[in-house]
């Protein structure tokens, strides 16, 4: 049993998929937007198995664990909130940028200089963009779920190739959990994904991505490709169209994942980093 729990494939794929499937089914009974929480449940189960859920000392990885919880709470608050949403993307952008800068803060302060702060600005821009751009997907469950799958898979794959196996594992776990959410959606159709789904997934993927660039060897253009994913998720899925057109439209969201895989494998030649 212990051997199974410590197997990286079990930790990154099987456990989060099963956890998200069970959590999704149970949360579906609770109604509201709660099923959207199942993806982050998968993420935290995987992280717990891989490195535990400690938050101190406040390393970059521990900050990601902490900020994921904060993003869930923000997501819940946004789903409860019934007022005007005009400025919400701006607020989310600022919050995402601040979160990315906090993750990188020790390095930015230590290195200083224009290149370092430029890197911080770029990281903030990426996190802010993902968070703000994905916010509108809360009312579109299938595109939101496919976006979560694509973003998490792209982040996970590129991080593994970028010599950040732990970050890659964390990204892959969200992809597996998003797969479970999509699978469950085939049997239990939903009206909304909710900010409870899109906010933490977008933030976690953003933070894993910028950490991969700064703390490992993930080439930054990979983030440029991944940043297109939320945008592609807005391509309308017309109800009247044939099923294959709708599937192709959804596949479009996954296209950048292939792009980022090609980029990273070409950038980093040689075999995969071994465990």
166 near other proteins, rule: CB under 8 A: yes
Smaller CB separation from other proteins, 57 or 236: 57
CB of 274 to other proteins, least distance (A): 6
If one counts every other C-beta atom within 10 angstroms of the C-beta of residue 270, the result is 6
Q: Which stretch binds other proteins (CB under 8 A): 15-23, 56-64, 237-245, 247-255?
A: 56-64
> Which residues does 138 contact at the CB level (< 8 Å), separation at least 6?
33, 78, 79, 144, 192, 193, 194, 195, 197, 198
Residue among 9, 30, 54, 73 that touches other proteins (CB under 8 A): 54
Smaller CB separation from other proteins, 156 or 230: 156
Residue among 15, 164, 204, 257 that touches other proteins (CB under 8 A): 164
59 near other proteins, rule: CB under 8 A: yes
Q: Which CB contacts under 8 angstroms, 24+ apart, belong to 9-12?
A: 10/49, 11/46, 11/49, 11/50, 11/169, 11/173, 12/46, 12/50, 12/156, 12/168, 12/169, 12/172, 12/173, 12/176
52 near other proteins, rule: CB under 8 A: yes
Residue among 57, 83, 84, 115 that touches other proteins (CB under 8 A): 57
Residue pair 42/180 in contact by the 8 Å Cβ criterion: yes
Residue among 18, 22, 25, 51 that touches other proteins (CB under 8 A): 51
CB of 57 to other proteins, least distance (A): 5
273 near other proteins, rule: CB under 8 A: yes
CB of 47 to other proteins, least distance (A): 11
Residue among 37, 175, 205, 216 that touches other proteins (CB under 8 A): 216
60 near other proteins, rule: CB under 8 A: yes
Contact residues for other proteins, defined by CB under 8 A: 2, 6-8, 50-52, 54, 57, 59-61, 106-107, 163-167, 211, 214-217, 270-275
């Amino acid at each position: 049993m212990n051997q199974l729990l410590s197997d990286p494939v079990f930790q990154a794929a099987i456990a989060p998929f099963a956890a998200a499937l069970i959590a999704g089914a149970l949360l579906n009974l609770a109604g509201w937007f709660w099923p959207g929480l199942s993806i982050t449940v998968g993420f935290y189960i995987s992280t717990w198995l891989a490195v535990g859920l400690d938050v101190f000392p406040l390393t970059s990885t521990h900050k990601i664990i902490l900020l994921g919880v904060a993003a869930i709470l923000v997501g819940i608050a946004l789903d409860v909130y019934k007022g005007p949403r005009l400025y919400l993307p701006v607020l989310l952008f600022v919050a995402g940028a601040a979160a990315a800068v906090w993750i990188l803060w020790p390095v930015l302060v230590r290195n200083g200089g224009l290149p370092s702060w430029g890197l911080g600005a770029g990281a903030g821009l990426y996190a802010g963009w993902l968070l703000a751009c994905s916010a509108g997907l809360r009312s579109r469950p299938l595109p939101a779920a496919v976006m979560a799958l694509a973003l998490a898979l792209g982040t996970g794959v590129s991080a593994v190739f970028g010599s950040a196996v732990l970050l890659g594992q964390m990204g892959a776990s969200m992809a597996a959990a998003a797969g479970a959410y999509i699978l469950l959606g085939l049997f239990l159709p939903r009206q909304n994904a909710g900010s409870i789904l899109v906010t933490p997934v977008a933030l976690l993927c953003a933070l894993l991505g910028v950490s991969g660039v700064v703390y490992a060897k993930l080439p930054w253009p990979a983030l440029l490709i991944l940043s297109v994913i939320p945008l592609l998720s807005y391509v309308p899925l017309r109800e009247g169209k044939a099923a294959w057109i709708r599937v192709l439209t959804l596949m479009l969201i996954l296209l950048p994942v292939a792009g980022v895989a090609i980029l990273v494998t070409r950038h980093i030649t040689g075999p995969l980093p071994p465990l």
